[in-house]
Structure 1
Amino acid sequence: MILINLLPHREVARKRRRETFQAIMMASALAGLVIAAVIYWWFQMMITDQQDRNSFLRGEIQVLERQIKEIANLEEEITALQARQRAVEDLQSDRNLPVHLLNEMVKQLPDGVYVTSLKQADQIVTMQGMAQSNERVSEMLRNLSNNTPWLAKPELVEIIAANVSLSPKDQRRVASFNLRFRLVRSSEAQKAMGAASEAAAGK
């Protein structure tokens, strides 16, 4: 017995292929949407994590900046305290400077020189006096330059010839001088004396 199919099988097969293609396209579209959603979610998670890390780092940076400011303030306070400490130490060590000044004046003034005025402003001492001759003034300047660690940088401001009356009949020619020099602080003088001692020991 022969069976003959009179139904439109080609159209049915075509319809089935079209439905299969549409189903595949729909599945592909859904899969693409799911993949895109997963990728978007992953990127959003990375962005959120990075933002959290950035916020944490900003907070830590602010903490460090506050600590740096505190350290800078502490350094300024330490510097100010050290400056005050040095000032107090200088004052304590400089209490004996007038004694050293008078002692050195006695040692360094040659015979034939006497002082009429002695003034001190900070570390600068101004001295006026009389000398028997210009040579005595030169000798005094050499003594003040080379023979003492307590006095430094002597500078002759003025020297003029003058007359001194010892009695109505006895008048003498003298040199009236005006000079200034620097009074060395105790710490500097002690360093200079230590260096001189080492140099003498080395010889």
Structure 2
Amino acid sequence: MNNLIRINLLDWRAAAREAKRKRFLTLLVAAALGSVVVVGVLPMLYYNHLIDQQESRNQYLQNQITTADKQLVEIRALQKTRDGLINRMRIIEQLQQSRSSIVHYFDQLVATIPDGVYLTGLRQQGNMTTLDGVAESNARVSDYMVNLDDSDWFSDPRLIVIKSSENGPQRFADFTLTVTSTNPNMPTPAPDLTTTPAAGRVSAR
């Protein structure tokens, strides 16, 4: 006989209890696996997602900082170029003013010379001019100093040396004086209270 007859010796109630136990164990294992997934895997995935987002933000901020640094370097270079151009413009403006000032300087220097006064030498150092000349009399020298003081381009004339000389029947006064050159187009500096008073003018004989 090839076919064997199987006889179930367990009670059907015991078989039902065994089936319920297996289902319970299956559900328990599934619940445990689900708990592991919920408690362990899902938070890990969530936090990894947050970390990826933060790293992406950090990279974006780093790229923006790098771009801002490059722009800052360019801005500084532009500011340096701008300052250089402004300095050049100021130098050109000063040169133009100096060119016009020297014309006014010599024009006023000639215009202030009265009759009977002749200049023999001129030396300039900064804004100080030393004038050497010959006058027909001391009164002519005094008139010359008055004219210089009244000019807008000169101030504070000071007599350094004056001496008489004779050329035949005529007498002359050799003189040396200093005068400060000014520019009426430039702002007037504040007065210095520590300076000494201007020297008196020469009186005519």
The TM-score, its normalising length taken from structure 1, stands at 0.59
Q: CA deviation at 1:35?
A: 2.2
**Residue 63 (structure 2) pairs with residue 64 (structure 1):** no
Q: CA deviation at 1:28?
A: 5.4
Whole-angstrom CA distance in 2 between matches of 1:77 and 1:43: 50
Q: CA deviation at 1:74?
A: 1.6
Runs (4+) of structure 1 moved beyond 6 Å?
Answer: none
- Structure 2: which 5+ runs fail to align? 1-16, 189-205
Q: CA deviation at 1:31?
A: 1.0
Q: CA deviation at 1:136?
A: 3.4
**Residue 146 (structure 2) pairs with residue 139 (structure 1):** yes
Q: Which residue of 2 aligns with 1:43?
A: 47
Percent of pairs identical after alignment? 22
Whole-angstrom CA distance in 1 between matches of 2:149 and 2:179: 13
Structure 1 letter corresponding to 2:175: S
**Residue 110 (structure 2) pairs with residue 106 (structure 1):** yes
Whole-angstrom CA distance in 1 between matches of 2:157 and 2:28: 113
Whole-angstrom CA distance in 2 between matches of 1:127 and 1:116: 11
Residue pair 1:119, 1:126 contacting (<8 A) in 2 also: yes
Secondary structure in 1 aligned to 2:72? helix
Q: CA deviation at 1:165?
A: 2.3
Q: CA 1:155 to 1:40, structure 2 compared with 1: closer, same or farther past 3 Å?
A: farther
Secondary structure in 2 aligned to 1:184? coil
Q: Which residue of 1 aligns with 2:84?
A: 80
Secondary structure in 2 aligned to 1:161? strand
Q: Which residue of 1 aligns with 2:183?
A: 184
Whole-angstrom CA distance in 2 between matches of 1:181 and 1:47: 78
Q: How many equivalent pairs are there?
A: 165
Q: CA deviation at 1:104?
A: 1.0
Q: CA 1:163 to 1:39, structure 2 compared with 1: closer, same or farther past 3 Å?
A: same
- Structure label with greater radius of gyration: 2
**Residue 128 (structure 2) pairs with residue 129 (structure 1):** no
Q: Which residue of 2 aligns with 1:198?
A: none
Name the structure with the higher helix share: 1
Residue pair 2:145, 2:157 contacting (<8 A) in 1 also: no
Whole-angstrom CA distance in 2 between matches of 1:136 and 1:180: 14
Task: Please report the RMSD computed on the Cα atoms of aligned residues, expressed in angstroms.
Answer: 3.9
Structure 1 letter corresponding to 2:130: M
Q: CA 1:113 to 1:28, structure 2 compared with 1: closer, same or farther past 3 Å?
A: farther
Matches within 5 A, 1:161-180: 161-167=162-168, 170-172=170-172, 174=173, 176-180=175-179
Q: CA 1:83 to 1:34, structure 2 compared with 1: closer, same or farther past 3 Å?
A: same
- Structure 1: which 5+ runs fail to align? 1-11, 193-203
Whole-angstrom CA distance in 2 between matches of 1:32 and 1:175: 118
Residue pair 2:165, 2:174 contacting (<8 A) in 1 also: no
Q: CA deviation at 1:170?
A: 4.3
Structure 2 letter corresponding to 1:164: S
Whole-angstrom CA distance in 1 between matches of 2:130 and 2:177: 6
Whole-angstrom CA distance in 2 between matches of 1:86 and 1:164: 49
Whole-angstrom CA distance in 2 between matches of 1:106 and 1:81: 38
Q: CA deviation at 1:77?
A: 1.4
Structure 2 letter corresponding to 1:119: R
Secondary structure in 1 aligned to 2:143? helix
Matches within 5 A, 1:16-35: 27=31, 31=35, 34-35=38-39
